[in-house]
Amino acid sequence: MLYLIGLGLRDEKDISLKGLEAIKACDLVYFEGYTSKLECSVSDMEKLYGKSIIIADRNLAESGMGKIISEAESKNVAFLVIGDVFSATTHISLFAEAKSCNVKVEVIHNASVLTAVGITGLELYKFGKITSIPFDNKDIVAPIDVFEMNKSNGLHTLFLLDLNPEKGDFMTAAQAAEYLIQKGIPAETDAVACAELGSKNPGVAFDKLRSLNERIATQWAGRIPQCLIIPGKLHFVEQESLERYQD
Ligand SMILES: C[S@@+](CC[C@H](N)C(=O)[O-])C[C@H]1O[C@@H](n2cnc3c(N)ncnc32)[C@H](O)[C@@H]1O
């Protein structure tokens, strides 16, 4: 059996009871820690879950998929993902491949950044296509194209930001704001920065792109992960919610 288990957004305790019970029944537990970041360490997880954890880097999760699936033919295997299993991650191929090899799969969902952004007051069903800003972005315009398309439909744009947890590199919302300004988005555009959603003290800041950049660049140092939203057409209730996050 292969269990794909979402860990939620904050620490080892965000796992669901069902997820925890599944891990307890597993012979092997993989943890995919390269697409986001929890506040806890792997040893905190090992302590609570009562299992040793194998770190699955991008290579193992993508190229080593066959190994994980063949292990799940004769053993109970858990694959842990920060946030939700299929939200802004690539694990649908692991699910599909396991199914096509007739390996039983159970998915145990959890909270995701894609729903946690609801704390801003922006209506989730008014978000358009989500886009990611990579570190190496000098010649990258795809996020701008996505934003323009969403904007023309009055929809909100969520920018997810590149990260490399193994190296401790996380793009900040201030860096994302700077990228957008450099690519020609007016500095006076309204935007919302979010940090550490799902934590005890999530950061949300609403401002013009330029001021946002100046406001959070130092204030939010070390508060990761972060993302950025440019709101589309606002309902007055959304506008009022955002105004609560002005300085
Ligand atoms: C590739 S997505 C992974 C999403 C994850 N599977 C989930 O369901 O939440 C990772 C990116 O989402 C954003 N992100 C993830 N968790 C976040 C959080 N708790 N607060 C703010 N942004 C977050 C960051 O931009 C981060 O680089």
111-122 tens-digit pLDDT? 999 999 999 999
The span from the CA of 49 to the CA of 65, in Å, is 23
Determine what percent of the chain is predicted with pLDDT higher than 90: 88
Residue 90 has pLDDT above 80, yes or no: no
Q: What's at 140, amino acid-wise?
A: I
Q: Are 161 and 178 in contact (CB under 8 A)?
A: no
Do 111 and 8 contact (CB within 8 A), yes or no?
yes
Residue nearest to atom 10 of ligand 1 (CA): 36
Binding site membership of 88 for ligand 1 (Cβ less than 6 Å): yes
- Ligand 1 centroid, distance to 233 Cα (angstroms): 24
Distance (Å, whole) CA 187 – CA 43: 43
User: Distances from the Cα of 74 to the Cαs of 27, 68, 217, in angstroms?
Assistant: 10, 11, 50
Q: In the predicted model, what is the mean pLDDT of residues 136-159?
A: 98
Paired with 203 in beta bridges are: 195
Tell me which of 89 and 154 has the higher pLDDT: 154
Mutate to test the pocket of ligand 1, among 4, 7, 35, 36 (most ligand atoms within 8 A of CB): 36
Q: Buried (b) or exposed (e) across 5-35, using 16+ Cβ within 10 A?
A: bbbbbbbbebbbeebbebbeebebbbbbbbb
Higher pLDDT, 130 or 217: 130
From the CA of 113, how far away is ligand 1's center (Å)? 5
Q: What is the pTM of this model?
A: 0.96
Residue closest via CA to ligand 1's atom 15 equals 113
- What number does the ligand 1 atom closest to the CA of 110 have? 8
Ligand 1 atom 5, closest CA: 83
Q: Residues 202-223: what's their mean pLDDT?
A: 92
Q: Which atom of ligand 1 is nearest to the CA of 111?
A: 8
Cβ–ligand 1 contact at 113 (below 6 Å): yes
Q: Which residues pair with 6 in a beta bridge?
A: 81
Question: Ligand 1 centroid vs 94 CA: distance in angstroms?
Answer: 20
| Whole-number Å distance between alpha carbons of 247 and 212 | 10
Residue 88: which pLDDT band, with cuts at 50, 70 and 90? confident
Residue 63's pLDDT is what?
Answer: 82
Per-residue pLDDT at 58: 82
Q: Atom of ligand 1 at shortest distance to CA of 132?
A: 25
**Ligand 1 lined by 196 (C-beta under 6 Å):** yes
> What is the average per-residue pLDDT within 13-27?
98
